[in-house]
Amino acid sequence: MKMTLRWYGSSHDTVTLEQIRQIPGVTGVITTLYDKQPGDLWTREEIHALRKEVEAAGLKIEGIESVNVSDAIKTGSSEREKDIETYIECLRNLGEEDIHLVCYNFMPVFDWTRTELARKRADGSTVLAYTQAAVDALDPEKMFASIADDTNGTVMPGWEPERMAKVKELFALYQDIDNEKLFENLVYFLERIMPVCREYDIRMAIHPDDPAWPVFGLPRIITSKEKILRLMEAVDDVHNGVTFCSGSYGTNLENDLPDMIRSLKGRIHFAHVRNLKFHSPDNIEEAAQLSSDGTFDMYEIVKALYDIGFDGPIRPDHGRMIWGEKAMPGYGLYDRALGAAYINGLWEAIDKAKKRGI
């Protein structure tokens, strides 16, 4: 595996490439052109400039998170062909710049949902949290307003104000889209982009829905082993792959994470590793990576990745906010650096035990 950190670009991220470079074992970043809206073209020049900036800091772009998929593609509306053509052009330009991994998601309206961005834990750290009761009590527009109020002056990806101002229209777009229709539109999109992915060896890696169940009555299709395997079979090409996000699949305790990883051998191109602490099945907060701080056995998750021969980029997913840091919720430097060190430690121990026949 290649240890990476997500980086939002020098004009948006509070964390610098120089800081990332000093985290032991981190050799690359997962980044994006942050200002791009779904459906926008990413030019070769823009990608090239980003690449040069990252390389000048001694790091490598290991992948893009995300090239966002437009609502037209997700809903299969008349604009979809134009947006798919643009997406193909983006992929071509990324391939020309030697970038071979693209993370994306196929979630309607909201990229992810949390009900608190700064829940205080016993040690004084703050974390993202989700309570189903809070979602049930809210209408989506109020949810957006409460998230917008609480982001340390930063804009959360997927929750851009321009987009969320249209939240009612977005809901109307998805009115006739059920799980099957959304799945069909996803398969259609993947089949259309597979030729350019094969040409440039670009691995598409779908991020699971977060949380892994329907919210606000919107369809959700990437939530379980059965559903992700169905997608792998529907477009049976190595370039149709997976971002294995332990914190997203893990919101549903019925998902056996190590078993899912093993069943996706050869198709996991990117891994997001993080731990969750469950107070109940529908009251969940993010935790430190350490197994004992949360509900997951992080050793078993990392071991499953090791056992399937995972060699793609991995990143500590969200971190807690600690040591007085002010950053985009979930994306501070300190706790993610601790997370990277912890995952690297697990990996080294698993690797040495295996090689020594322990």
Q: Given the residues 100, 245, 249, 335, select the one marked as catalytic.
A: 245
In the complex with Mn ion, the residue whose CB is nearer, 69 or 196, is 69
In the complex with Mn ion, the residue whose CB is nearer, 77 or 151, is 151
Using CA atoms, how far apart are residues 98 and 101, in angstroms rounded to an integer? 10
Q: Which residue has the tokens 């997001």?
A: 272
Using CA atoms, how far apart are residues 143 and 157, in angstroms rounded to an integer? 15
In whole angstroms, the minimum distance from the beta carbon of 49 to Mn ion comes to: 26
Strands 268-273 and 240-245: parallel
In the complex with Mn ion, the residue whose CB is nearer, 29 or 196, is 29
- Let me know if 272 is a catalytic residue: yes
Q: Given the residues 331, 334, 335, 342, select the one marked as catalytic.
A: 331
3-state secondary structure of 275: coil
3-state secondary structure of 280: strand
Using CA atoms, how far apart are residues 4 and 21, in angstroms rounded to an integer? 10
Contact 97, 144 (CB under 8 A): no
Amino acid, res. 207:
H
* CA-based R_g, the chain, Å: 19
In the complex with Mn ion, the residue whose CB is nearer, 72 or 301, is 301
In whole angstroms, the minimum distance from the beta carbon of 207 to Mn ion comes to: 6
Q: Given the residues 249, 269, 318, 334, select the one marked as catalytic.
A: 318
233 — phi, psi (to 5°)? -75, -35
- Let me know if 331 is a catalytic residue: yes
Q: CA separation (Å) from 252 to 135, 278, 357?
A: 16, 10, 34
Contact 269, 312 (CB under 8 A): yes
In the complex with Mn ion, the residue whose CB is nearer, 196 or 327, is 327
- Let me know if 48 is a catalytic residue: no
- Let me know if 103 is a catalytic residue: no
In the complex with Mn ion, the residue whose CB is nearer, 105 or 115, is 105
Amino acid, res. 6:
R
CB-nearest residue to Mn ion: 245
Q: Which residues bind Mn ion (CB under 5 A)?
A: 245, 272, 317
In whole angstroms, the minimum distance from the beta carbon of 221 to Mn ion comes to: 16
CA neighbours closer than 13 Å in the CB half-sphere of residue 108: 30
In whole angstroms, the minimum distance from the beta carbon of 317 to Mn ion comes to: 5
Please enumerate in sequence order all residues whose Cβ is within 8 A of that of 349, keeping only pairs 6 or more positions apart, or say none. none
In whole angstroms, the minimum distance from the beta carbon of 105 to Mn ion comes to: 9
CA neighbours closer than 13 Å in the CB half-sphere of residue 21: 11
In whole angstroms, the minimum distance from the beta carbon of 130 to Mn ion comes to: 13
Q: Given the residues 100, 239, 269, 272, select the one marked as catalytic.
A: 272
Tokens encoding 127:
């974390």
Catalytic residues: 207, 245, 272, 317-318, 331
